[in-house]
Amino acid sequence: MTETVDENSSTVKIDLDHVVNHGSQILEEFEIIDHPNTNQSLKHMKSLDDTFSASAGSTLKKSMLATVYVDSGDSSARKLKGVCSEFQEAAIYLKEGVENEKLFHHPTDAKSYWAYIVIHHPGYYISEFAVCVLLLLLAFLEEPSFIHTPAAVAPSLEIAFLLFISSDIVLKLLWIRPKYTIKHQRTVWKCIILTVMFIEALVVLGREDSHVRVTRSLRPLFLLDTTLLPDVRRILRQIFQSLGPIIDVVILLFLFIAIFSVSGFYLFASSSPTNYQFSSFRKSFVSMYIAATTANFPDVMMESYSERPLAPLFFIIFLVIGLYIVNNVLLAVVYGEFQKVQKEKFRSLYLHRRNALRHSFNVLAVKGPKHRTLSLQSYLHLMDCYSPYTSKLTSMCTFKAMSKESKQYEDLSLRVEEFYSFYDIQGLNWGRVTGIGEKIRWYNSLPDNVSNKLRYLTKAVNSVYFKATMNLIILSNALYFFIISSHVKDPSKRFDKSHQALAVNFFYVGVYLFEIFLKLIALGPVYFFRSQWNVFDFVVIIAGFIIQLFEIKTEYLTFVIPFRFIRLIRFNKRFRAIFNTLAVLLRRIISIVVLLILIYYFFAIIGMEAFSGKVYPGCCRSNESDIGRYYTGNGSNKFYLNNFDSLSQSFVTLFELMVVNNWWIIMEGFHYATGKEHARFFFIAFHLSTSVVLTVAIAFIVEGFVFKIHLAQQQFAKKRGDEYHIDGEFIKLYEVEIRQQDIEMLEKDFIRAYWPWELPAASRRRMTATISLIFQGRRRRTKGDIHKQLYEEYLEKWIEEDERFQRSTHYKYNQTPTKSSMTIIQRVKYGIKHSLVYIFD
């Protein structure tokens, strides 16, 4: 027997004579029977074994060599050898790239691996998020509250929730290891806050009585630390990174207010003794700050105006500079800082994902004739670990979309440069199309006479005439509602329940149902519900139909149906552009709303501890101002309802403060009710905090429209690389060819994906006899795609700098220096370092 071992390619070459005589023994000897990368080779060897056994007189040259891949990938790239399969480890690298986790936190042993698996399990994500939300909602059971429970209930639940949150720290200690955990500032602060809260909860439970607990306001930090809120953390991080310039502008604003406060005090305090708003410098500053928010203008000006005719000029100059210049400077500064932070954030995220993909590739890739490659079979097994619910057909399509070269079926593999596009390809929605790009519909497998009629129906539904007809019907429905509403003079008769009104409502609802029915038949449920407009129409119309059918109160019908009039905005291209931009920004807008809610909770808890029970009807009568008239309870003067007596009332009060209309009445009411000057600091701090967050929201919206303008400049180009301009939007579009061999490999999965019922054997044979099928993957362009295009000229420079940095600092995650390649001094340093790590880890 001739046996050759090639260490670089991890292959063993075996003389075919020995394969003929001892084929099965060789397979067992190398323990590679179940190796996924050798299935084809093993099948080939077994068939050779059978062939040679059956025909000993074969003329094949017995000097041929059969090559068997013993191990895929670079063994030095693996850190979890013997703990999990190479595919699971490669999938962990991919997840670390998506979740932006540091690669040196990669699990290295069984203990850290299982801790990582638990922390990153979807069930743990949901449980952690639910516990943190329940901890926030615990404030409804704690004093002050409308819900009265035994004193031991709230602290007992709090201790249980805190113990569960503490398990996250324990798991991170096992996963990341203590030496890295103590360097993670967020985790350290989390430990400190947990300890303080746990001690306070034990004290409350032991005393069975509540005390002042301002630390409850820090509970939102636990929710921020959950895995399901990365965007909220990212926005908060961007705010902190931009905090320096923001503080500079705020200081400038306060300096500006202080200058005008001094001027106002000396100008107007002596003119009228009753002008209490400028009776002292402190009150002058508060009045001018409130005036800068336009909440009490022109009230703050009237008294001075009655004494001095030129007083309005003072206030006009103040508002023009403060409101229209300084506030816009704040927006410009925030937007400018966000641009800088955005570029650096994209750079770090892009390089991090690229490094994660390279590590994942190195784990599975094998050395080929020219370069290391990742085989199709390895990729399919990788996707089973990375995304278990993704079908193999989808994985096959994504593999071929990444492959930039047309290869034979036997040579299907990916180079690392092709694998770098993994994250861009994963979000594609795949569907079968014809050779000319037309989608394959659900009725194609039906008899020709039926499928032809349905094909005509599909063309009719997608035609301009059908859409124009439906839009005219919607417009007539809108005009009917508006005309009927404008002729109602008696509010008690605003709901017309006559037979004529019911007949009109049934007519329009019936037309809308008929439209939905036609679209469902023509497009099929899958394609129908992929359109957000179709989902919106379906929900609104079905709700209206149920209300009308079961004779629910007519006011509900009149409330639901008008929402469908929103579809009329599709008439105008500008309206569509605005809504498409808002759709792209929807995720960030939701994150900002969540951040605002958490800020509300923080200030609500502090307000409940400081101001609970302070305001009530008639609480502010004895003061020099006329604030007391707003708290009398007579008529509309019911500002005493804006209080901090419960969590729900606190949220309502804080929302009114954020809107800033008459917010100064609430602030002054609590100031006079408590008799403490520092009460104003609470309200001013809340106003500044929400102003910064809202400015950030405006900056995001401005950034979104700037990118939209950037896209509009390319609308004259039909195609740019793999991007198509379709229906007013840029779409990432890929087409791949699935050949007969691919279909045979994935036959069962392919049939299940496109035919929900079992096909007869003849149909399966007819289907797999097809030479090739074309699949098209598409998705809407994301902000990541826009950023990648915007910073395209910097990408190569960033990659070169990163590679140079790694070479200069020996920055290698997946390789450990061998003793043979180290000098004596390096060996000593290596031994000391790893000894200390072993002692303190």
Q: Where are the beta strands (DSSP E) in 193-280?
A: none
**What Rg value do the Cα atoms of the chain yield, rounded?**
35
The answer on pLDDT for 563 being more than 80 is no
More confident residue, 840 or 169: 169
State what percent of residues in the chain have pLDDT above 90.
17
Q: Could you tell me which residues come within 8 angstroms of residue 693 by beta carbon, excluding any fewer than 6 positions away?
A: 239, 592, 595, 596, 599
Centroid of chain to Cα 742? 34
The answer on pLDDT for 37 being more than 80 is no
More confident residue, 634 or 15: 634
The model's pTM = 0.75
Reported as type and span, the H/E element at residue 12 is strand 11-15
The answer on pLDDT for 468 being more than 50 is yes
Phi and psi (nearest 5°) for 773?
A: -125, 145
Model pLDDT for residues 213-224, shown as the tens digit of each residue:
889 999 999 999
The answer on pLDDT for 599 being more than 70 is yes
pLDDT band at 625, cuts 50/70/90? low
pLDDT band at 789, cuts 50/70/90? confident
pLDDT band at 743, cuts 50/70/90? low
The answer on pLDDT for 331 being more than 70 is yes
pLDDT band at 326, cuts 50/70/90? confident
pLDDT band at 552, cuts 50/70/90? low
Region 648-656: mean pLDDT is 93
Token pair recorded at residue 208? 């069975």
Residue 131's pLDDT is 96
pLDDT band at 525, cuts 50/70/90? confident
Classified as helix, coil or strand, 780 is strand
Centroid of chain to Cα 338? 18
Residue 135's pLDDT is 95
Beta-ladder partners of 366? 373
Write 468-476 long-range contacts (CB < 8 A, 24+): 470/515, 471/567, 471/568, 471/570, 471/571, 473/508, 473/511, 474/564, 474/565, 474/567, 474/568, 475/568
For residues 11 and 387, give the distance between their C-alpha atoms in angstroms, rounded to a whole number.
30
Model pLDDT for residues 145-166, shown as the tens digit of each residue:
888 888 889 999 999 999 999 9
pLDDT band at 823, cuts 50/70/90? low
Token pair recorded at residue 510? 């019936």
| CA dist list (Å): 65 to 12, 14, 17, 61 | 10, 6, 9, 10
Q: What is the mean pLDDT of the chain?
A: 75
Model pLDDT for residues 361-374, shown as the tens digit of each residue:
999 988 877 788 89
DSSP string, 526-555: HHHTTSHHHHHHHHHHHHHHHHHHTT--HH
Region 298-310: mean pLDDT is 82
- Pick from 690, 701, 703, 722: nearest CA to 345: 703
